[in-house]
Structure 1
């Protein structure tokens, strides 16, 4: 790994494990909340699709009339049928003239949706000035894509496969739908782009440069069997199907059973992912809380000790040098330090055996005892000689 990657990884790890892992715990908690939210949406979609009736196009009108008499809300239904262009006349009579059908320029197939895209693929090296001795950094490449696409659509319907124009139909309303479409790729070609005189300079200095142009054409052909899931109602007496934002599917190649299996699998994955992320976040946040609580208590203890030490230093500073100047008889020396004169008497034993500084040090012990009689003491008092 290069020095830049090492520094970046070190920075990310320091941020993640700062405050004893609290940042990492918060990130995992956020991931857990997002996962649980997605699990709720997916389980709701699974319940709605599972409870939606799967009907044929011919039976859709009778179902809508029955639902209209029982409820005012438009039901969610699952319909499978073949794609056909919508006739231009009202009532969808097969005798009317059909609307313009799109024709693929590459394959010549008739379709109702044609999507053409051009993707420029750019190749980016680290550059001569950014190379390192690390082999993976030298050989590592990043590919970026810049895509421009156009889509043409015409109104279309779903009919009973093989029975049109004698069968009933349902209008597919694509307005406001952002769901993925079951398009078929009919053209896929990658054209290399010749290097220009500036390509070498761009590569040396790490600038991206195009290496290929990917042309694709995808269509929704006539006669393709697809499954539509959405809100169904009447539009001028004709059944119309609209997309539902709460559902992950609108038009799909999958059948209802395949959708249910896919959603059930995603629901289990999201559920266990949320449980794992939530458990890890709770454990890490709990550990970080305990650690920071202990650090805070230690900080308070240090502050208290510093305050006591400051009081001790202030008290001992009151002892002038003149009081202990000169020779001190052995019987008046402190029994602890054997350097200063005895100044403080312990309470309640009353022994005058320590200087003021050593007496305060003895008081600060966990279980303070007199150095002579070993009796537990409460405090000390300084004795002043008149």
Structure 2
């Protein structure tokens, strides 16, 4: 008995195979990342990082774990809403919230989308928690994943529409409920864990980098 597949069936089978391949690829990437973290060498600032790098091949150490305190290289960023707070990463965002009418269920559902987003970052150092010693440069903070920023400002702006605007909202099926304004920062002095490649640069400085490779910056529990 020969079973023929229609065009729709073929499309569904093809889509299922493509999704399965994508999920398997993502699973393998995630598994590889976990393996790298588990096998990464854990270093302390009290060990001589420069000597370790000078005696290693290619003047680098592949995937290390290093805990340190965030220090700005040059002038730190300042919070827009709390100027006394200094940071090395700053993210400002405006998100519009609105109600959307669903004619099938005859009910309103909440929707939102980002209408403005600005991210600023400067290179920073990971330094030892106490005393003076070697420090490690994070030259491209925005290349890092796993960033956990601290929310320092959050305000919801509620609109005051007139009667005409309210009427148009009901006709269009979209009713704005407000704008959420947030500011998040990575403050100077925060203790974090960096995971990535440790490299000795030509000037003798120590960098933790993600090119090629990756870097994760995690909060210390």
Give the equivalent residue in structure 2 for 1:370. Answer: none
Secondary structure of 2:152's partner? strand
Whichever structure has more helix as a proportion of its residues is: 1
86, 89, 112: which one aligns with 1:144: 112
Residues 164-198 of structure 1 deviation map (CA, whole Å, 9 limit, x = unaligned): xx121000021771634221111111121112343
Give the equivalent residue in structure 1 for 2:159. Answer: 193
Cα separation, 1, equivalents of 2:211 and 2:30: 13
Secondary structure of 2:92's partner? strand
What displacement does 1:144 show?
A: 2.5
Give the equivalent residue in structure 1 for 2:197. Answer: 231
**Please, what TM-score do these two structures have when normalized by structure 2?**
0.83
**Please, what TM-score do these two structures have when normalized by structure 1?**
0.50
Give the equivalent residue in structure 1 for 2:16. Answer: 28
Give the equivalent residue in structure 1 for 2:94. Answer: 118
Q: Is the 8 A contact 1:106 1:187 kept in 2?
A: yes
Secondary structure of 1:198's partner? helix
- Which sits farther off after the overlay, 169-178 or 108-117? 169-178
Give the equivalent residue in structure 1 for 2:53. Answer: 64
Give the direction of change, closer, same or farther, for the CA distance of 1:178–1:73 in structure 2 (3 Å limit): closer
Give the equivalent residue in structure 2 for 1:241. Answer: 208
Greater C-alpha Rg: 1
Greater RCO between the two (CA within 8 Å, min separation 6)? 2
Matches within 5 A, 1:350-361: none
What displacement does 1:114 show?
A: 1.7
Task: Please identify runs of 4+ aligned residues in structure 1 that moved more than 3 A.
Answer: 17-25, 71-74, 244-247
What displacement does 1:219 show?
A: 0.8
1:106 correspondence with 2:74: no
Give the equivalent residue in structure 1 for 2:70. Answer: 83
Q: CA RMSD in A?
A: 2.6
Give the equivalent residue in structure 2 for 1:167. Answer: 133
5+ residue gaps in structure 1? 1-16, 87-98, 256-386
Residues 62-104 of structure 1 deviation map (CA, whole Å, 9 limit, x = unaligned): 3212323xx5665221111110111xxxxxxxxxxxx212222
Give the direction of change, closer, same or farther, for the CA distance of 1:157–1:138 in structure 2 (3 Å limit): same
Cα separation, 1, equivalents of 2:143 and 2:81: 27
Give the equivalent residue in structure 2 for 1:55. Answer: 43
Secondary structure of 2:56's partner? helix
1:202 correspondence with 2:168: yes
Aligned pairs, number: 214
Q: Is the 8 A contact 1:188 1:217 kept in 2?
A: yes
Give the equivalent residue in structure 1 for 2:121. Answer: 153
Secondary structure of 1:39's partner? helix
Residues 251-284 of structure 1 deviation map (CA, whole Å, 9 limit, x = unaligned): 12267xxxxxxxxxxxxxxxxxxxxxxxxxxxxx
Cα separation, 2, equivalents of 1:152 and 1:232: 24
Secondary structure of 1:205's partner? helix
Give the direction of change, closer, same or farther, for the CA distance of 1:190–1:18 in structure 2 (3 Å limit): farther
What displacement does 1:41 show?
A: 1.5
Whichever structure has more strand as a proportion of its residues is: 2
What displacement does 1:218 show?
A: 0.6
